[in-house]
Structure 1
Amino acid sequence: MSSAVPQLAPAAAYDFEVARHKLNDCRFLPAADPLGVPLQADEVQLRIDKFAFTANNISYAVFGEAMSYWQFFPAAEGWGRIPVWGFADVIASRHPQVREGERLFGYLPMSTHLRLLAGKVSERSIQDVSPLRAKLAPVYSSLSRVLRDPGYFPARESEQALLRPLFMTAFLIDDFLDEQAAFGAEQLLLSSASSKTALGLASLLRRRRRGEVIGLTSAANVGFCQRSGYYDRVLAYEQLPALGGGRPTVFIDMAGDGGLLRAVHAQFGERLRYSCMVGGTHWRQRETQHQLPWPRPEFFFAPTQLRKRQKDWGAVGLEERYAQAWRPFLLSVGAWMRVVQRQGVAAVEKTYREVLDGHAPPEVGYILSLT
């Protein structure tokens, strides 16, 4: 385990990095003065104000190589900058349609600052078209102009940073499963049921009523998941055998626990109609799966379904459908989520280790700031 927190001046710029293949190792590195190099045409300099950190960000690190998450914000060989969702303010701009002082929401690094090349600027968003990010999924390079965002509520910025990106994933999984008529399943089984993505998905699946929505979680989190009101039933992992294997089942795996995945496939056999891999909250238990009983687990990549629906419904149609799903969920989260705000390098490292080690309480949502 390593940690290198430099003694930095309050106004200094710096980045938080983790070792790609040893996630326990992390460090803070001083970054260049954000305004020390003059902006080029269409460049915009951001100061990152605050961002959410959840188990979803650990999944970004776990799947960093396979899903190209490390490529968004480069680091030294062997190191990576974990992407987060949060808010940033424009402190300098050389794009005629982007003004200083504007507030943006989007996909950011765990850093104090970010410089981007603005392109495809619309009333509601700014696309970073810098050569590195232009090659990656557009959903991750688009920043929302919050004052023109119909889903933005100034008093709910923390909830937006914590839940909106995760809920978008949940929304797209729910849409995909509905499109497939839930593969004829009578029950939908979600692992890591206390995770915020799973809670959002459970709320949507239960509204559809395509089958019984069952959460799997640790024994300590059963009560919390039940109190959320999103599940028809919640079981501890060791109670999985009690479900038997006779009902057609869809498994949505938020945990990334290879042993659990194997156990589910073995228990349900041909009754397992679809196996969907989403996250990696149990990253230490990951293992390569060979010779699993059919069906082969399929990784759900949200941008693929997003692009499909943008084509089917158009950008405005997608936004309207998403807003209809998002608003009731947002109104319900106060019953189970408590926002905790932390500031400074020591607090960011502490939170990273808590979430990495699985010690973050499920009812807590962390909002972090490096400045």
Structure 2
Amino acid sequence: MPTTELLVHKNQLATTRVREVPDAPLAPGQVRVRVDRFALTANNITYAAFGDAMHYWDFYPVQGDGADWGTVPVWGFGTVVESGCADVPVDERLYGYWPMASHAVLTPTRVMPAGWTDGAAHRAPLPAVYNQYERTGADPFYRADTEDLQALLRPLFATSWLIDDFMADNDFFGARTLLLSSASSKTAYATAWCLSQRAGIEVIGLTSAANAPFCQSLGSYHRVLTYDALESLDPATPCVYIDFAGNAALRRRVHEHFQALRYSCSVGGAHVTELGGAKDLPGPRATLFFAPAQSKKRSTEWGRAVLAERMVGAWQGFLAAAQSHGWVQPAHAQGPAAAQAAYAQVLGGRMDPRVGQMVSLAGD
């Protein structure tokens, strides 16, 4: 049975195509995993928007279609359907980083009871956190009844938790007001939730008029402002800008308005049609946040077990809040045409912020 792939044009992100690739025999040590379902969020649009600069296209390079087409990595669940690795049995269920495809071929190395690493040579230079696959039977994050929420929120929450930790690690750069753009995006409001657990911090969400009521309903922002109200804030306020939108014009407005901007943190590119450079801005240089770097720092300082324990504890609190308040309502897209439509909706920012898009290309 061939593998179905959803490809994206690297320089025209709205252009997609579906292709079927015959399955080649596995090499010794490889496994074939059926990608049962994966999440599509603004986080994945960020992967595409920064695909060249941050090497996201390199995880699942497209074979045979030249350099213009790429596979956007996604988070979700898969099941081993064929195994040439004695330590990874058929039917084992995994959580991890997949291609937008029906199947993926991986090379398990460093196999442990909790999971293993894809040892494919092309992934060796890439951040290790993206190369790890968790066995659901031993995963402390895993609950069988919340798979959709895990796929939609867990990778975003990990980034959000690390942003919160990075800010606290740097004493919020001497500020106590934090501005978050694209406040309705899941990574933004997960960050707001983490920050809201800390005393003495004011978290302000910046969003569109259409999404303002949703952001206000979350209870994680102390204030929610529409983008056109930005200049109503006191320009002398010492603050930090955490940018999930990537909107170049908005970034410039923030930098020009706030005389005491202490730090400018670039995280995402949710406003994909309005991305742009950050040169010649007043105030601090806009600095890209790279979650694996903060994760590696804390893993070195605390040890991996302590880092995991702290993150799992925070995740459980966030998941409980998301469930009890209905922050996310999973929607399911099955098959290539539905997957393309779902991708176009997420790319265009046309999704209801409460909807979490789950996709499967693996068939019924």
TM norm. shorter chain > 0.5: yes
Matched, 1:46 2:37: no
Task: Give 1:311's match in structure 2, choosing from 287, 300, 313.
Answer: 300
- 1:255 and 2:268 correspond: no
**Structure 2 equivalent of residue 267 of structure 1:** 257
1:16-165 maps to which residues of 2 (within 5 A)? 16-33=6-23, 36-37=24-25, 39-75=26-62, 76=65, 77-165=67-155
Are residues 1:297 and 2:279 paired?
A: no
Number of positions where the alignment pairs a residue of Structure 1 with one of Structure 2:
357
Once residues 333 and 280 of structure 2 are traced to their aligned partners in structure 1, the CA distance between those partners, rounded to angstroms, is 44
4+ long deviations beyond 3 Å: none
Q: Supply the AA of the counterpart residue of 1:286.
A: L
Q: Please tell me the residue identity of whatever aligns with 1:367.
A: M
User: How far did 1:186 drift?
Assistant: 2.2
Q: What amino acid does structure 2 have at the position aligned with 1:48?
A: V
Aligned match of 1:244: 234
Offset of residue 183 of structure 1? 1.0
Report matched runs for 1:331-342 at 5 Å.
Answer: 331-334=320-323, 335=325, 336-342=327-333
The unaligned stretches of length 5 or more in structure 1 are 1-10
Matches for 1:203-242 after TM superposition, within 5 Å: 203-242=193-232
Q: CA deviation at 1:40?
A: 2.3
Is structure 2 residue 315 aligned with structure 1 residue 320?
no
Measured in 2, the distance between the counterparts of 1:83 and 1:299 equals: 19
In structure 1, the residue matched to 2:166 is 176
Q: Does 1:364 pair with 2:355?
A: yes
Identity %: 45
Instruction: Note the alpha carbon deviations across 1:205-242, whole angstroms, 9 max, x for none.
Output: 01012421000000111110010111111000001011
RMSD between aligned residues: 0.9
Q: Is the 8 A contact 2:345 2:351 kept in 1?
A: yes
Quote the offset at 1:309 in angstroms.
1.1
TM-score for both structures, normalised by structure 1: 0.95
Q: Shift in Å at residue 122 of structure 1?
A: 1.0
Q: In structure 2, do the counterparts of structure 1 residues 21 and 145 end up closer, same or farther at CA, with 3 Å as the change threshold?
A: same
The 3-state SS of whatever aligns with 2:211 is helix
- 3-state DSSP class of the match of 2:162? helix
Q: Give the whole-Å Cα distance in 2 for the aligned partners of 1:293 and 1:125.
A: 46
* Inter-partner Cα distance in structure 2 for 1:266 and 1:187: 17
2:338 corresponds to which of 341, 347, 369: 347
Instruction: Judge conservation of contact 1:192–1:198 (CA < 8 Å) in 2.
Output: yes
SS at match of 2:36: strand
Conserved in 1, the CA contact under 8 Å of 2:278 and 2:286?
no
- 1:192 offset after TM fit, Å? 0.2
Q: Report deviation, 1:246.
A: 1.4
Q: Give 2:126's aligned amino acid.
A: L
Structure 1 residue 287 corresponds to structure 2 residue 276: yes
- CA distance in 2: counterparts of 1:194 and 1:354, whole angstroms: 15
Q: Distance in 1 between matches of 2:267 and 2:200?
A: 20
**Matches of 1:50 and 1:82, distance apart in 2:** 14
Q: Give how far 1:84 is off.
A: 0.3
